[in-house]
Amino acid sequence: MSTLNNDKLVIAIDGPSGSGKSSVSKAVARKLGAAYLDTGAMYRAITYSVLADGTDLANADAVAQAVRDAKLSISVDPDAELVEIGGVDVTAAIREPRISEQVSTVATNLAARAELVRRQQEIIAANARIVAEGRDITTVVAPDADARILLTASEEARLRRRGLQLGGTQNDAQLATQVLARDAKDSTVVNFTQAADGVMTVDSSELDFEQTIDAVLDAISTATKN
């Protein structure tokens, strides 16, 4: 028996940059009638706020305090993307290259990470059905999720997808910084390149978007069968 139609359903999806986590997770949430949590957007919002306030990113204590003080709000409606910090809509601003280049500083700050994980767990607990995606969802944030999936893809595929996502505005070096260099930095505090015990892997290198959604749904169905 599958739990896909149950009132309570928590799906955790992680993986490297450019693997399609956000777009695929959002589509899966729609198909399952579930909420959607983009945890990466929370790190980006904090990065935006810290930069806007002039806080020294090298000052780990100051960054951690900024996270604890942050009035951060994020929509969990897969059809209504909205991220606010301090009451300001930063949904578009947090996707700017300068944020992508600096977000790892916040993501690798262990105290800041602990506070954001706490908030993420609160959001997951407040929603009966939710698809949560990020870099440590399957192992740290939601290790008891009904289905845990590592969505991955080849380096070539990930760079190509991120380039398309950004509308061709970035050159090869900028893309490599955003995708590969960021992964290297973030992997110092969390493993999102190999599936932990009980985590299913979906490799989308040779799949198109719809095929990837179907593969993830199949993995969820398999994981939730009793």
- What ranges in the chain are assigned the alpha helix state H? 21-32, 39-53, 60-69, 97-107, 110-125, 155-165, 172-176, 182-186, 209-223
| Residue 221, annotated as binding a ligand | no
Question: Is 134 labeled as ligand-binding?
Answer: no
**Residue corresponding to tokens 């960021």:** 182
How open is the CA angle 206-207-208, to the nearest 5 degrees? Answer: 130
Is 73 known to sit in a ligand binding site? no
Q: Which of 51, 82, 62, 86 is closest to 72 using CA atoms?
A: 86
- Whether 19 has a binding-site annotation, put simply, is yes
CA distance 112 to 109: 5
- Give the Cα separation of 131 and 123 in Å (integer): 11
Please check if 18 is assigned to a binding site: yes
Q: Is 40 annotated as a binding residue?
A: no
15 is in an annotated binding site: yes
Which residue ranges make up the annotated binding site? 15-23
Which residue ranges make up the annotated binding site for ATP? 15-23
